Chains A and B, each alone.
Chain A
């Protein structure tokens, strides 16, 4: 017997799954959003370049092209509703050789075909004026005024919390082990926490979408994880790099960027290397070298001494070259999203609306809920407030006066709020993504012992139970003065 019966079960609480859940929460539906990780957005969502692309890259007529441009246009509203940091700062594709002009003109033309507004070509002098740190060899650039930078964790958490506020149930640490089916119809999911019946199952499982498709009897689609490695630089570097700078693209990737981030750091990357494992997010010496070399080609004055962090993420690269988003004809009760690689983040709000339409066409009855609430508030961010607002916040709750993370000025109040948010932060990394605690130049060296104490207190756990990212990732193994086991 299944635990519960739902109208829609969404597998995968990344940015795509969470936004689909939110889009469907406008209607009178019982919705379950599930993810095998201990937090939402633990896959590709948390490790990407965090760029809102303008839409000149994808092939005209493709889903990628359409959903990129449509998704981009939705960002102002969705980020305002979900209280997510977003800056439509514009992006640049920088030409460094005279023959790159041809690429720029090609991209420009492609962008126009895709319906991208605000594209223009600028000469080297103008580029240097806008970005004084740019390489001497620059010959000009393609400017995309609608490009921007976003907080991808914030968007995913915001979407999932908004969905929950509107009645969606979230089940974390819930791993799908199989699909339930009756004949041609998918009737639910089997998980490590029991079976859940659903009239519709939406696969938004990122890197694992192909495995689930095979279980549903859909063959032929294969995802190859394509690793991208990155450096994060200290905020000081943002005095040098002001913009989002792409090199001219290659056939497999948009190339190694140098970009300011929404959080005020500078990020370098990614490279692009196919790997065997869907869990291999390790960084490699060769890969990091490649990234640094690529970044220096755009901004030769980058200071490697300002590097504070390296990471890698995996793109869910499919074998069709385009997003696959469909309710397959051969299987009933199923909607599949696969191969959602770049520009997946940009496209995600439009993908969510598209999925709603696909489900409507496929027969899901959608009755609007009168009490739908699109607005969701993030936890306060002390460092972003004015002095007066900071004083008011501390007067209301003294814990906002107690700074825990000195590099990013994150207070005890924010950590406590994250522990008690609609999706409670239960791991150190979850706290980090919600508050930026530990993301600064000391990388948590000073705050870790304090955060573990606060989390243990707020979550009613022993400090020995606090993990970095769930599972066996405990920080502390035993008390001192105990005999080692």
Chain B
């Protein structure tokens, strides 16, 4: 088995991995290596040929492949090395990473710091227990996207799309442009689960029938999908009798949620958040294991690539710092690490589903603001206050025009604010994040 070492090892070359690797080099790490299981770099970006990427990061509206290309070039110019067609099999104590590739055989890599950037996967049919037969023609939206955009094949001609996630909506448009018919998009919730801009640009502009509070109640066809039955559901997601409709189709696409891909994190012993399914991290993207960092969709699912990149830049920077401390002491990085600083938990409060990071250093370790990212449970289509509180004290209080589960909310807590409160927070259990209606304000 070939043995390798490096300063920072990044698992995954999607937007998170590329940005983390680039930033690790910029922050002084000498040897930065990215492992990618596919033959091409960019993770899922190469198949996302629609636009909307990089508006904040590059101030230009790019396609997925273009966004990936920019980051690959930046990373390569910065001196990042890549191993493609290489799959990580295990993360052992150390951390030590065991990977396999046809070219190199089995490889054992011992980095000074590790960044987890494995992204996420799509929720499959089985997870929803959709009744019916199990014919060919049921695909997750992302699989269909790869088949159409990268392989050049149509996986159906008449589609029903279950779920209204962003990939599902984008595929509704893509399939229509390729000459297929999208018979319906059905969503069990009373609102769409993807971004509003995709609803407008991909569903409404293409006259695709959208059925809310509706789900697929039967899949028919022995060999290939022949039809699906849809029905309305009540508030408890129970079928409303009499609302069943049969839609003839030859394919069913699923766009019903993404799950952070954390089997390696679990193997490494990283503490996971049961709500997000991703590692619990602090404001520096550090996981529960010293020297292991995590960023992007592996932590929690983002809706904008620009936010993935921002989180990964933090992870890359702090992973490099950690690696450099290890290099300075000439041994395992942990030996060079300063004594652990106290942290406080950050918890979801009213109408907040989950918060990342799950804990923050108090006071902040340096002068940077700490970014808190979260999603609401229920949509509120009127002005709201998004707050970070410590007991009765409000640390951040921001007015938003609305709050929707599909749109992640980001708040920054200034280092000075944390500094100011640090001494007074001793008796407080942690910080709460909440999103509440503004009282006493005229309704729009």
Contacts and interface: CB of A to CB of B under 8 A. Distances in A.
Please determine whether chains A and B interact with each other in the same assembly. Answer: yes
A391 B121 contact: no
B136 A468 contact: yes
A442 B133 contact: no
Contact of B156 (A305, A308, A477): A477
Contact of B224 (A282, A472, A481): A472
Contact of A445 (B87, B98, B121): B121
Contacts of A479: 152-154
B155 A445 contact: no
Contacts of B178: 480-481
Given A402-B102, A479-B154, A449 B147 contact: yes
B148 A445 contact: no
A288 B127 CA distance: 12
A467 interface: yes
Interface in B91-121: 98, 100-106, 121
Contacts of B218: 282
Contacts of A390: 100, 106
Given A390-B106, A403-B100, A445-B143, A480 B152 contact: yes
B278 interface: no
B153 A395 contact: no
A476 B155 contact: yes
A308 B85 contact: no
Interface string B212-227: 0000011100111000
B134 A311 contact: yes
B436 to A, nearest CB: 28
B125 interface: yes
Contacts of A468: 135-136, 223
B154 to A, nearest CB: 5
A284 B87 CA distance: 38
Contacts of A446: 121, 143
B165 interface: no
Nearest to B108: A387
Contacts of B179: 482-484
Nearest to A390: B106
B102 A477 contact: no
Given A442-B122, A445-B122, A387 B98 contact: yes
A469 B129 CA distance: 21
Contacts of A191: none
B3 interface: no
B250 interface: yes
A254 interface: no
B136 A402 contact: no
Given A307-B126, A475-B136, A478-B153, A406 B37 contact: yes
Given A282-B131, A472-B223, A394 B126 contact: no
B129 A442 contact: no
B1 interface: yes
B55 interface: no
A474 B154 CA distance: 11
A308 B126 contact: yes
Interface in B122-148: 122, 124-127, 129, 131-137, 139-140, 142-143, 146-148
Interface in B214-265: 217-219, 222-224, 239, 250, 263
A388 B87 CA distance: 17
A463 B153 contact: yes
Contact of B155 (A285, A402, A477): A477
Interface size range of chain B in the complex: 35 or more
Interface in A177-215: none
A400 B106 CA distance: 10
Interface in A298-334: 305, 307-311
> What is the predominant secondary structure among interface residues of chain A facing chain B?
mixed
B154 A477 contact: yes
B392 interface: no
Contacts of A421: none
A395 B103 CA distance: 9
A463 B223 CA distance: 17
A402 to B, nearest CB: 4
Interface in B420-436: none
B376 to A, nearest CB: 21
A288 B102 contact: no
Contacts of A441: 121, 124, 263
Interface in A450-485: 452-453, 463-464, 467-484
A188 B124 CA distance: 46
Contact of A307 (B127, B143, B152): B127
Contacts of A475: 136-137, 147, 155
A240 interface: no
B135 A409 contact: no
B337 interface: no
A310 B126 contact: yes
A103 interface: no
A232 B134 CA distance: 14
Nearest to B146: A449
A441 B264 CA distance: 14
A8 B219 CA distance: 41
Contacts of B98: 387
Contacts of B419: none
A480 B175 CA distance: 10
B411 interface: no
B180 interface: yes
Nearest to B90: A387
29 contacts: A231-B126, A281-B134, A282-B131, A282-B134, A282-B218, A282-B219, A307-B126, A307-B127, A308-B127, A309-B126, A311-B134, A387-B1, A398-B103, A401-B102, A409-B87, A409-B89, A444-B124, A444-B143, A448-B139, A448-B143, A449-B146, A449-B151, A453-B151, A471-B222, A475-B155, A479-B152, A479-B153, A481-B152, A482-B179
Which 10 residue pairs across A and B have the least CB separation, nearest first?
A: A309-B126, A443-B124, A403-B87, A468-B136, A401-B102, A398-B102, A473-B223, A473-B136, A476-B153, A391-B106
Given A394-B105, A401-B102, A445-B124, 16 more contacts: A285-B129, A395-B105, A400-B102, A409-B87, A411-B100, A442-B121, A442-B124, A443-B126, A445-B140, A446-B143, A449-B151, A467-B136, A470-B223, A476-B153, A480-B148, A480-B178
